[in-house]
Chain A
Amino acid sequence: MPAVTGSKRRAVLNRAGLYLGLSAFGLLMLFPFAVVAFGSLKTVSDVNRYPPRLLPATQDVVEVDGEELELYRIEGQERVLVERVDIGIFAPPDDLEATVQAPTRDAERRGGFLDTETVEVDGEEYELYDVTIGGELVEGLVQLGSTTAGIFALPEDRDDTVTANVRTAQTVDSLSFQTSNFREVTDLQGLDRSLTNTLLVTILVVGGTVLTSILGGYAFARIQFPGRDAIFLVYIGSIMVPFVILIIPLYQLMVALGWINSLAALVFPFIFNAYGTFLMRQFFVSIPKDLEEAAVIDGASRWTILWRIFVPLSMPAIATLATFMFLYAWNSFIWPFIVIGGGNLDNHVLTVSLQQLGGRAANFPHLIMAGVMIAIAVPVTVFVLAQRYFVENVATSGIK
């Protein structure tokens, strides 16, 4: 009996450890997204704030005697900032270390402007002041420096004041979500247009690739013809060729076609996809031959067989290919950056818009974050809905 409980306990511990590890890693993955999601709802001063905080908040304001005043917490009491004053740092001439601070308006220069009294300390000449500190007049101080501070009063009693540094004073904040950021960033960078452009490009690329891949994959899988295997080998080889090598010649091709700065340049070069053809071919090969034989005997054409037998059976593979191309088209950056990154903002896709937003709104990180949220909303939604196919896509690409 003890052995059983022991292993049970170990199983429970194991499980707990598993969840702990997974959660820690999940936090690592989600935290940056959380920063951006909340950041996109902040005001500019909130997002630039140091130390940073996760949730968006703005400083509370109270109305005192018809005036809107900012609320702070000073020494445990909620107080409003009434005014900012210049503060002098004073000390007696015989002990420069014993400094006191007082508003400069409470300090009076001895002898006035015309006949200022001075004192020499350690070879340096200082002017002498009479300063009122806490209601008492202290005479004969020298001013060593100055700073500024705020006068904070109780909201219910404006005469009860304390003096403190405004910059480091703790503010009283409450949650507030600046949803207008999204509209602002959309107007700033034309993100609505970029979004529909991206949708259009993505739909065409996905649809086009699926179509050409089905046709090509079918031929490679089921139609024996001389040269087929050689062509197929070239196709597989081409998957290995990195895209960078095509940048310059493709750019020249786009120039020749007049497609620079045009969405067409983002669609047509990418719908003839060796990887997609390969994927469809592999799937078609695995479909048993006897399924189509009956149709062949009935005199069905290849076209009919392909669309009525193969395609319905291949929906998982097609979905997998579609998710792959979706991500590719939605997120591709280097090519759009080169070929449509110019001045025609109307043709920008999201990746290019976002990159430019990163420069244009460098002073407004909250807007950049809002832009990021807009850009990732669609892929994340699609991912949540079609998770299975995304994961399958990865899995099949790994095994093949």
Chain B
Amino acid sequence: MRHARWIAVLAALAVVTAACGNTTNEETTDAPDATTTEETDDTEETDDTEETDDTEVTEETEAADGDAVNLRWRTRPDNQAEIDVYQSVSDSIDEAWAEATLEYEPGGTETAAYQDALRTEIAGGTAPDVFWIPGTDIADFANRGLILDLREVADGNDSYAGDDAYYEGPMELLTYDPESQASGESLWGLPRDVSTFALYLNLDLIAEAGAPDPRELADNGEWNWDTFREVGQAVSELGDEIYGFGMNNWWANPGIWINSAGGSFFNEDRTACALDSDEAVLGLEYMTGLYQDQLAVPYGEDSQPPYEAGQVGMQLTGRWSTPAYRAIEDFEWDVVNIPEGPAGAVNWTFWGAYVVNANTEHPEQAFDLITRLTDGETQGQIAELGANIPSRTDDPDTIDTFLTFTPPENNQAFIDGLNSSVPEGPLWEGDWPGFDTIMAPAIEGVVAGSQSLDDFQATICEQLDPTFD
């Protein structure tokens, strides 16, 4: 028995030992080490690098191109279909590109925690070379020195299509230089795609309620806050568990009503809070009315499941919801642009960018990868998914291909939305996570009625101004 115990201890050790064997044989380790030695052309040393170089290498690729640069990249997946497409994008770029070996990894989460986890990994030194982050977070990452200013690399890269090949709004924010406080100087990344809100309609419920078809109203120029409310009212009267309207609870949703009322989160140059303007408060007042008159799925409840279950007449959400909704069989659906408020229908340009980890070993190749990930071909491939709108504007074909991917029939609604929209955050002169942390509960309070609009108007900017530099 005594021997048995020793064998047990040895076996446990052996298991731990076994761990490192598999590392090179089939799986990949996880520490892209900052201490990695310079890539060497010396073939004799490749053996050695295999051992010391902890960046992810698989055996086949090592065998194929011994001195290839290895790049890990990541985007936030919203569903499995998207993961698959990005994987195939990664594979085809990898195949066509001799200089580098790619490894795509989907981000872990699709909520805001994606970028929080990424920060954690950068601090831990395990973040990938290239990653996507939402537009709101660009400034925070840049100001903390977590991502590279790619301007110099871009200037030396022939395949870069130039800043004006992409949507202007995002590029203006992506090229901001916090030191000179001017746009067009730096380059923090390139937009992966853009997106915007639309109302996803349950046509069956609207027809049952006898309400006018919002798409026809929009065609006739009658799609505004009043008719929107009428449609919502009619649908919500169908039954207790039927709601006229639904949207989820994050900053962009109240933002739509504030924008369309002529208000804004920030002042024009994004250096101070502007939520106390009369227009912003008007937008909130309209939105609050929708909830207090019980037209809508309660604020803060997830409105996606009831929409998919056929309980919601109009669901405000972005283009990214399309793939999930394509699986709906129980009712007819389509999209329409958001209704016009006092200042028109002012939508968001949602965008996120591929950026380069400040600690990457290979900035040139990383930038090269970004241009490849945003070229027309790749964008078309991704647009097919239905989740995204191409971020390139220099190629009309890309937009046309996007329009042909149905359902929804009314893809034009997204292009219309983009044409009258405000690009989402970042706050170059402030702290967006801090801003959001204070704004979100305040708006929840207004909708729930625990804070009056007057109170909100009087105090909100006082609380938010400390989040600006």
Contacts and interface: CB of A to CB of B under 8 A. Distances in A.
A343 B304 contact: no
Nearest to B330: A45
Contact of B309 (A45, A147, A251, A254): A45
A44 B308 contact: yes
Contact of B120 (A187, A260, A262): A260
Contact of B108 (A44, A84, A345): A345
Contacts of B128: 343
Contacts of B238: 167
B106 A345 contact: yes
A86 interface: yes
Interface stretch (B184-192, B203-211, B341-349): B203-211
Contact of B113 (A89, A147, A251, A341): A341
A342 B118 contact: yes
A188 B80 contact: yes
B115 to A, nearest CB: 11
Given A343-B106, A343-B117, A347-B30, A147 B124 contact: no
Contacts of B209: 147
B98 interface: no
A359 B109 CA distance: 7
A260 B208 contact: no
Contact of B302 (A44, A86, A362): A362
Contacts of B120: 260, 338, 341-342
Interface string B102-124: 00011111110100011011011
B161 interface: no
A260 B126 contact: yes
B305 A48 contact: yes
A343 B107 contact: yes
B106 A255 contact: no
Given A45-B330, A50-B309, A356-B109, A258 B208 contact: no
B105 A345 contact: yes
B239 interface: yes
Given A50-B241, A260-B125, A341 B12 contact: no
B187 to A, nearest CB: 24
A344 B32 CA distance: 13
B144 interface: no
B215 to A, nearest CB: 16
Contacts of A345: 105-106, 108
Nearest to B234: A145
Contact of A148 (B127, B204, B302): B204
A392 to B, nearest CB: 24
Contacts of A260: 120-121, 123-126
Contacts of A352: 108
A10 B400 CA distance: 83
Interface in B299-323: 302, 304-306, 308-311
B31 interface: yes
A346 B80 CA distance: 15
Given A258-B31, A262-B30, A307-B5, A344 B105 contact: yes
Contacts of B118: 342-343
Contact of A342 (B31, B108, B204, B241): B108
B74 interface: yes
Interface residues of B, number: 48
A34 B311 CA distance: 25
A362 B250 CA distance: 15
Nearest to B302: A362
Contacts of A167: 204-205, 208, 238, 310
A50 B302 CA distance: 15
A120 B125 CA distance: 76
Contacts, number: 109
Interface residues of A, number: 44
Interface string B1-38: 11001000000100000000000000100110100000
B194 to A, nearest CB: 23
A360 B108 CA distance: 9
B208 A148 contact: yes
Contacts of A146: 207, 210
B305 A343 contact: no
A318 B433 CA distance: 48
Contacts of B106: 343, 345
A72 B379 CA distance: 46
A44 B311 CA distance: 14
B163 to A, nearest CB: 29
A224 interface: no
A289 interface: no
A304 B3 CA distance: 11
Contact of A307 (B2, B306, B311): B2
Nearest to A46: B309
Interface string B364-377: 00000000000000
A363 B304 contact: yes
A400 interface: no
A362 B304 CA distance: 8
B182 interface: no
Nearest to B304: A363
A10 B124 CA distance: 68
A261 interface: yes
A7 interface: no
A258 B33 contact: yes
A363 B107 contact: no
A145 B125 contact: no
Contacts of B304: 362-363
A381 interface: no
B324 interface: yes
B2 A304 contact: yes
Nearest to A353: B108
Given A148-B208, A188-B80, A254-B124, A341 B309 contact: no
Contacts of A338: 120
A207 interface: yes
Nearest to A86: B207
Contact of B117 (A84, A145, A307, A341): A341
A168 interface: yes
Contacts of B79: 360
22 contacts: A48-B308, A145-B210, A146-B207, A146-B210, A167-B205, A167-B208, A167-B310, A168-B239, A254-B124, A258-B31, A258-B33, A260-B121, A304-B2, A307-B5, A341-B113, A342-B127, A343-B108, A344-B108, A359-B109, A359-B111, A360-B110, A363-B308
Interface of B: 1-2, 5, 12, 27, 30-31, 33, 74, 79-80, 105-111, 113, 117-118, 120-121, 123-128, 204-205, 207-210, 238-239, 241, 302, 304-306, 308-311, 324, 330
Given A168-B239, A260-B125, 9 more contacts: A148-B208, A167-B205, A258-B125, A304-B2, A343-B108, A344-B105, A363-B304, A363-B305, A363-B324
Closest 8 CB pairs of A and B: A260-B124, A48-B309, A145-B210, A146-B210, A342-B121, A342-B117, A148-B208, A148-B207
